[in-house]
Amino acid sequence: MALYKGFSSRTKNNKFRLTDFELIKQDLYNHLFTRPGERLMNTTFGCIVWNLLYEPLTPAVKIAITENLTTIIKSEPRVRATDIAITEYENGLIIELELQYLQTNELDKMRLQFDRKSK
């Protein structure tokens, strides 16, 4: 039986219902793919990756992104991050998150691609 239930309109297989870990990952995805200031009445909501996408991936930029990702994941009480990896490629950044679902201790990875041309 699912503990968390929700819906998604971006699934490819017309299955709009999401439960548990898939729902949590969708909530994180929505947070991470929102620019700061983009959400009405909550200008602090969002991920700073979009503001730093065109900057060189220096150690300082990598630390700033990692700290922001950690803060976002900590705001989600159902999971915790066990690993965060940031790599650069020619069109942007790839962020790999290893998440632990606290209800069952299940581990899963999210691979996010932030393209310079996508937003």
The half-sphere exposure of 63 on its side-chain side, counting CA atoms within 13 A, is 3
Pair 52, 60: CB distance under 8 Å: no
The reported pLDDT for the residue numbered 75 is 93
Say if residue 96's pLDDT is above 80.
yes
Determine phi and psi for 116, rounding to 5 degrees: -65, -25
For the entire predicted model, the pTM comes to 0.82
pLDDT at residue 63, as a whole number: 97
Q: Which residues face 19 on adjacent strands?
A: 5
13 pLDDT band, cuts 50/70/90, is low
Domains belonging to the chain, first-starting first, are 15-115 (3.10.450.40)
43-69 pLDDT, tens digit each? 889 999 999 999 999 999 999 999 999
Which of 20-29, 45-54, 57-66, 81-90 bottoms out in mean pLDDT, i.e. has the lowest?
Answer: 20-29
Q: Coil, strand, or helix at residue 109?
A: strand
Q: Is the pLDDT of residue 7 over 60?
A: no
User: Which among 46, 39, 37, 98 has a CA at the least distance from the CA of 68?
Assistant: 46
pLDDT classification of 108: cutoffs 50, 70, 90: very high
Phi-psi region of 19 (alpha: psi -120 to 50; beta: other; left: phi over 0): beta
